[in-house]
Amino acid sequence: MTENFNQNTEITTTNDYANYAYHFAYFSDITEFNRQGEEAYNEFKNNSNAPGVEAWRRQMESSRFLEPLSQSFVGTTKNEAVQGVFNTYIEPDTLKDATDAFDDILANIDMGGAFNKSKLYITENQMGIFDFGLASAGLYKVMEFYSEKLKTDNPFEFVDELPGIVPNIFVDKNTFGDFWYTNKEGKKYQMTQQPKGTLAMELNLPDATFEYKTTTEKSYLMFKREGGNARYVDLYVGCGGLGDMNASGMLARALPVLMAAQYFESKKIKTRINASRSFFDGFNTSSNKTGLINFCWTIKDFGETLDFTRIAIDTSDPRYFRFGNWKNVSAIMKKKYGLNTQGYGRTVYDAEAFLEIGNRYKNWYFEQMEKNLVPEIDIPRPLMMYGGLPNPPNTWNYSGQTDRTMQRIKQEFFRILDIVDFTYNNATKCCERIYKREVEEGDKSVRDFKRYVVDTISRAYSYPTRGPYADTIEQQEEANKQNDLRITQMANFLQSIEETA
């Protein structure tokens, strides 16, 4: 089989950094990351045995605090930097242009039904979505009864209602068609009948609206569960960048993951996004003792909506990254591991290094999960996925769909999409979709297409065999099994297009 389509189908092993020490941590969100960072900083800020933390204390006390970081802190006061609370992204126009471009890209994706939304069915179950179209034949407005005089005499006659409103059950109708309410003392109030919600809207109450009901029984839509478990994807994106990288370059790195999350959520695949501060420590340059640091925190949890501004600030805003993030890492490293670092070093850009760190982090995370120290997730291992634009540009100005950086962003987006496709769907069908996209509609050769498909699967099921947090023999065997299954499924299709290459 390998000879037929000239590809090495063996699984990828990730051992380039097996001799390094690894230091991992997970935080539920950026608030927890900042809280632990501040606590550790206050504990060590006057400790001469914590030179990394001490360096941040001295810098904050200096009148020239922002000068070493001037490129990242234009227009930012010292107090704003120390507080580290930003509500707008530093380059909002770049963020808007890029995320607006998502609509055009996502609208033109043809997955052949592979990620179709769940089918809807009609029900009486009010947990579903009320459908006006279904209910319209018997649709009517619910009424309420109001008296201005009752509101004046006793605004709290009915404590669960707005002043002047009387529940329908206590209202009588006389032979002339008038509505009346009689209180306990026998005093009568003539009532005005009006659509329920009228008074609330007059008072400008939040979410005030008319209430509708229908005589049609089945007026609710619910998604039909096709069987099996719900689908989940857990994405990790590197944050920040080296000294020459500005906000737009950092953002370019994160965009493939944001676009993938938006697509998956639209297809009812629940998606979590995590920021990953991953770097080779630069404080102890003489050895690998401190080695590789990878601190992660959730920036969009399963079921939450995408907040592009919040995610951009957390991952791609140098005002936070080059102060708050670094200070936190420095202090937490001292408290958690007893090691000195200033929180910065050589940021991991290379896809191979990020893949290996991600593979080892997965194993660490599952160990922590067994100890109930991190949130539990139950997904196929390839879908706990490290992504983002490898080796992003230092500066980027979006110039349209033909923009070279946007083309690379789309490539990484499709890589993430294809891994999910291969995991949840038939490998042959996945192959056919990729062939149509990359060869028939794109500019890839058949040879490049085959190389991409096999390499994508091989990397998705890759693992480290030695060093910290390496895969066990059982884990390696299971990964090999899953890799071989997909290679076998798509072999006939790959061989069938060999002759037309």
Q: Is 113's pLDDT higher than 70? A: no
**Which residues contact residue 5 at a Cβ distance below 8 angstroms, ignoring those fewer than 6 apart?**
450, 491, 494, 495, 498
Q: Residue written as tokens 């965009």?
A: 255
The answer to whether position 325 is within a domain reads: yes
Question: pLDDT tens for residues 24-50?
Answer: 999 999 999 999 999 999 999 999 899
Tell me which amino acid residue 228 is: G
Residue where a domain stops, chosen among 196, 223, 250:
223
Distance in angstroms (rounded) separating the CA atoms of residues 316 and 275: 10
242 confidence band (pLDDT: 50, 70, 90): confident
Q: Residue written as tokens 């194993």?
A: 363
Distance in angstroms (rounded) separating the CA atoms of residues 474 and 242: 38
Residues 265 and 314 in one domain: yes
User: What pLDDT was estimated at residue 382?
Assistant: 92
Residue 500 is given by DSSP the state T
214 confidence band (pLDDT: 50, 70, 90): low
Distance in angstroms (rounded) separating the CA atoms of residues 101 and 109: 13
Residues 392 and 484 in one domain: yes
Distance in angstroms (rounded) separating the CA atoms of residues 426 and 423: 8
Distance in angstroms (rounded) separating the CA atoms of residues 278 and 242: 12
Residues 492 and 416 in one domain: yes
Residues 200 and 251 in one domain: no
Extract the tokens encoding 120: 């809807």
First to last CA, the chain: 17
User: What pLDDT was estimated at residue 490?
Assistant: 86
Residues 181 and 217 in one domain: yes
Give alpha helix (H) positions in 26-91. 30-44, 51-61, 78-83
DSSP 436-465: IIIIISS---HHHHHHHHHHHHHHHT-B--
Length of the chain: 501
Question: pLDDT tens for residues 288-323?
Answer: 456 899 999 999 999 888 899 999 999 999 888 988
Task: Name the domain count of the chain.
Answer: 2
The answer to whether position 173 is within a domain reads: yes
Answer with the residue of higher pLDDT: 51 or 142. Answer: 51
User: What pLDDT was estimated at residue 177?
Assistant: 80
Q: Is 140's pLDDT higher than 70? A: no
Residues 267 and 372 in one domain: yes
Q: What angle separates helix 308-316 from helix 247-266, to the nearest 10 degrees?
A: 140
| Strand-pair category, 292-300 with 22-27 | parallel
Residues 312 and 333 in one domain: yes
Residues 325 and 423 in one domain: yes
Phi then psi for residue 446, to 5 deg, are -60, -40
**Which residues contact residue 149 at a Cβ distance below 8 angstroms, ignoring those fewer than 6 apart?**
189
Q: Measure the CA angle with vertex 428, ends 423 and 430; round to 5°.
A: 55
In 3D space, the residue among 358, 324, 340, 337 whose CA is nearest the CA of residue 238 turns out to be: 358
Residues 375 and 471 in one domain: yes
Range of the domain at 206: 120-223
The answer to whether position 45 is within a domain reads: yes
Residues 111 and 183 in one domain: no
Distance in angstroms (rounded) separating the CA atoms of residues 210 and 206: 13
Residues 168 and 245 in one domain: no
Residue 381 is given by DSSP the state G
74 confidence band (pLDDT: 50, 70, 90): low
**Which residues contact residue 183 at a Cβ distance below 8 angstroms, ignoring those fewer than 6 apart?**
154, 157, 189
139 confidence band (pLDDT: 50, 70, 90): low
Sign of the Cα pseudo-torsion (336, 341, 344, 346, in order) = negative
Residue where a domain stops, chosen among 173, 196, 223:
223
Distance in angstroms (rounded) separating the CA atoms of residues 243 and 358: 23
**Which residues contact residue 399 at a Cβ distance below 8 angstroms, ignoring those fewer than 6 apart?**
none
Q: Residue written as tokens 């068609």?
A: 177
User: What pLDDT was estimated at residue 97?
Assistant: 85
Helix (H/G/I), strand (E/B), else coil: 217? coil
The answer to whether position 379 is within a domain reads: yes
Strand partners, 297: 27, 275
Strands laid side by side in the 172-173 sheet? 165-166, 143-146, 188-195, 179-182, 172-173
Mean pLDDT of 109-128: 56
User: What pLDDT was estimated at residue 168?
Assistant: 82
Distance in angstroms (rounded) separating the CA atoms of residues 275 and 267: 23
Q: Is 280's pLDDT higher than 80? A: yes
Tell me which amino acid residue 158 is: F
In 3D space, the residue among 408, 388, 219 whose CA is nearest the CA of residue 316 turns out to be: 388
The answer to whether position 354 is within a domain reads: yes
Residue where a domain stops, chosen among 176, 198, 223:
223
User: What pLDDT was estimated at residue 71?
Assistant: 65
The answer to whether position 10 is within a domain reads: no
**Does residue 249 contact residue 92 with C-beta atoms inside 8 Å?**
no
The answer to whether position 419 is within a domain reads: yes
Distance in angstroms (rounded) separating the CA atoms of residues 450 and 428: 12
407-415: Cβ within 8 A, 24+ apart: 409/252, 409/255, 409/256, 409/259, 410/105, 410/256, 412/256, 412/387, 412/388, 413/105, 413/256, 413/259, 413/260, 413/263, 415/256, 415/387, 415/456
Distance in angstroms (rounded) separating the CA atoms of residues 474 and 461: 13
The answer to whether position 70 is within a domain reads: yes
CA-CA-CA-CA torsion for 269, 272, 273, 274, nearest 10 degrees?
A: -150
Could you give the C-alpha distances from 84 to 52, 68, 191, 347, 476, in angstroms and in order?
Answer: 19, 17, 56, 21, 43
Residues 319 and 173 in one domain: no
